[in-house]
Structure 1
Amino acid sequence: MHPGLTRRRFIGVTAAAAGLGLLPVGGRGRAEASVVDWHGEAMGAVASLRIHHSDRGAAEALIRRAVAEVRRLERVFSLYRDDSALVALNRHGMLAAPPPDLVEVLAQARHYWQATHGSFDPSVQPLWTLYRDHFSTPGAAPSGPSSQSRDAALALVGLDGVAFDRNRIAFRRRGMGLTLNGIAQGYATDRVVGILRAGGIVSSLVDLGEPRALGPAPDGHPWRIGIADPDGLGAIAETVEVADRAVATSGGYGFRFDAEGRFNHLLDPKSGRSAALYRSVTVLLPDATGADALSTAFSLLPKEEISSVLHRLGDGEVRLVTAGGERIVLSPRGREDRAEAGGGMIRAAARLGCA
């Protein structure tokens, strides 16, 4: 089972400076638009960046800054690079003088761990390793790991077992490990949005795994983001319209350990079992970091508890597809609606929460 299979296949950034629409190359807006494209790989996925700007040099500089920022964050958060700060932490159980971004993401993780009463917990890495190793073994029991081995892994889970400040990060129990795949893509998205905004971009759609819209689309209408159909590979189940919002989707269909699909990557830090309440959970919030974390946590919570968290946050929207196929929309006001399906433009793929 190659770890790359758990990564998204495409990320993208489309952006325009003030006064410019997103035009085809050679088109004209309210100012002459230079269009700069970049193609490559970032965050373990195929990447494409396109920036429209009246100053070609400024557009090229923004591309370089965005790519450099993503590369820098990969060296902090990646579980697939031997030289990343996170790999070093997991290997040694301690990290002195940690990168400030790692400390910041852990602080954000602790905030959502507390807000969800422990349902968002990046210390589930020992559980992920347990399931990966079990189902990678020839002749593995289709019922999954034994209860004894699951209990042993669960004993290593709990964000309260991670001590951190700007000087040091340390695990309180030997064998603990972190995965930040349930929050790091959102954090990286927010950082790129900040770079674009500082560079004069007023309209953009940044998708590093968790799409975030900066402002409305250039025509003044909201951006339309499609939510993946959990039952149809590559299909769109519905679309949402957003401006200055992020969209994150989690679903057990994103990665499954076994061929039957009984065991997925959304692991409950309390029971050690895979999420089964919903086929898909989509969270809309102003920032991608929060949307990313909560789409993971909400995959494990009944809708009443999700509503309670939204009420405490005072913001956001959650769109659920239940195990039985019912579509529900929850808001902080406690209102519950049935979601309407529709066509889509951009797929918000299932977020893969663990390495």
Structure 2
Amino acid sequence: SENSEGAFDLAIGPITSLWHIGFADARKPAQSEIDERLPLVHYPDVVLNAKKQTVYLKKKGMAIDLGGIAKGFITDEVVKTLKAKNVTTAIIDLGGNIYVMGKSPKNVKKDWNVGIQDPKKPRGTAIGTLPASNMTVVTSGIYERYLKVDGKIYMHLMNPKTGYPFDNNLMGVSIVTKKSVDGDALSTATFDKGLAGGMAYIEKLKYADAIFITKDKKVYVSSGLKDKFKLLKDSGYTLATLKNKGGSLCRCRYFLSSLKFARNLRVSCRLRLALYLR
């Protein structure tokens, strides 16, 4: 939460429970309801004590929601279990969270060929592919879980600043990294920042790359994937390049901030997931 400047806020619970998108009682709440709960969404008010394994919420009514990283955490735990059993080749698919271990069983000298989900099509429909080994690909999209009200689509990822679902030109984001829980958090953070801000954010990180799909059916890839991602000819999408004032975005390395983000997630994730599942 700190690394993403609150774009991923673990204290989003009061807002997600209000909308409840993905459940039978999902609804668009009144503005007054959102205004009442929004002050409760403030991750600095969540005090974690790793030594005592305790969590303290400073304000009455606060709630932690780890739905945004739960599948990533579970994926990583499955990977640990398989490695402990000396499994060297596997694919773990939790729907939106994919981890490929080792090399492809079809050719032990080649990486797995992972499809990148079309955000507008049923699960398993790819717009392109990329080779990967011992990596996770985490995809979030506006049509994954949504609420439709008066013809408008409201996605399931919530903006902690407004209390509404993210609403920009992004249709889907795929994060490529080593830890699936990191991919979950980063997919939310990049949706918050939009295409330009999200790309700049990813390019600052040492441990992740991303593929952005916009509503006008254009695909943008971070610098680490430019020579790896292959767009399918019949996908209906086009590859595009994002420019900033100084030209093409370049990858910068901020090792300390990246390490801090990963460390904070892993130190507190197990404790917070237990709270979420209660």
Same fold by TM (over 0.5)?
Answer: yes
Q: Report the equivalent of 1:300.
A: 192
Matched, 1:175 2:64: no
Summarize the alignment of residues 273-352 of structure 1 with structure 2, pairs less than 5 Å apart: 273-277=164-168, 278-331=170-223, 340-341=231-232
- CA–CA distance in structure 1, aligned partners of residues 94 and 212 of structure 2: 22
Describe the SS at the equivalent of 2:134. coil
Describe the SS at the equivalent of 2:186. helix
- CA–CA distance in structure 1, aligned partners of residues 24 and 79 of structure 2: 39
Describe the SS at the equivalent of 1:291. helix
Matched, 1:269 2:156: no
Kindly provide the amino acid, as one letter, of the partner of residue 226 in structure 1: G
Q: Report the equivalent of 2:121.
A: 232
- CA–CA distance in structure 2, aligned partners of residues 298 and 155 of structure 1: 22
Match of 1:211 among 92, 98, 101: 98
Offset of residue 338 of structure 1: 9.0
Matched, 1:160 2:20: no
Q: Report the equivalent of 2:141.
A: 251
C-alpha contact 1:268 1:300 (8 A) present in aligned 2 = yes
Summarize the alignment of residues 59-98 of structure 1 with structure 2, pairs less than 5 Å apart: none
- Over alpha carbons, which structure has the higher Rg? 1
Summarize the alignment of residues 97-136 of structure 1 with structure 2, pairs less than 5 Å apart: 113-132=1-20
C-alpha contact 1:329 1:339 (8 A) present in aligned 2 = no
Offset of residue 227 of structure 1: 2.5
Query: What is the RMSD of the two structures over their aligned residues, measured on CA atoms?
Result: 3.0
- Runs of 4 or more off by more than 4 Å in structure 1? 135-138, 335-339
Change (3 A) 1:337 1:154: farther
Offset of residue 248 of structure 1: 0.3
Kindly provide the amino acid, as one letter, of the partner of residue 258 in structure 1: K
* Superposed CA offset, 1:260-292 (max 9, x none): 342221110011121222111100001111111
Offset of residue 228 of structure 1: 2.3
Offset of residue 115 of structure 1: 1.9
- CA–CA distance in structure 1, aligned partners of residues 11 and 176 of structure 2: 24
Structure 2 stretches lacking a partner, 5+ long? 236-275
Structure 1 stretches lacking a partner, 5+ long? 1-112, 345-353
- CA–CA distance in structure 2, aligned partners of residues 225 and 337 of structure 1: 11
Matched, 1:185 2:71: yes
Q: Report the equivalent of 1:222.
A: 111
Kindly provide the amino acid, as one letter, of the partner of residue 239 in structure 1: T
C-alpha contact 1:307 1:332 (8 A) present in aligned 2 = no
Offset of residue 124 of structure 1: 1.3
Kindly provide the amino acid, as one letter, of the partner of residue 80 in structure 2: G
Offset of residue 180 of structure 1: 0.9
- CA–CA distance in structure 2, aligned partners of residues 137 and 311 of structure 1: 39
C-alpha contact 1:266 1:274 (8 A) present in aligned 2 = yes
Describe the SS at the equivalent of 2:173. strand
Change (3 A) 1:205 1:121: same
- CA–CA distance in structure 2, aligned partners of residues 306 and 172 of structure 1: 30
- CA–CA distance in structure 1, aligned partners of residues 69 and 79 of structure 2: 16
C-alpha contact 2:139 2:173 (8 A) present in aligned 1 = yes
C-alpha contact 2:139 2:175 (8 A) present in aligned 1 = yes
- Report the count of equivalent residues: 228
- CA–CA distance in structure 1, aligned partners of residues 117 and 203 of structure 2: 26
Describe the SS at the equivalent of 2:81. helix
- CA–CA distance in structure 1, aligned partners of residues 9 and 71 of structure 2: 16
Offset of residue 137 of structure 1: 7.4
- CA–CA distance in structure 2, aligned partners of residues 339 and 300 of structure 1: 26
C-alpha contact 2:13 2:63 (8 A) present in aligned 1 = yes
TM-score (norm 1): 0.58
Identity %: 25
C-alpha contact 1:223 1:243 (8 A) present in aligned 2 = yes
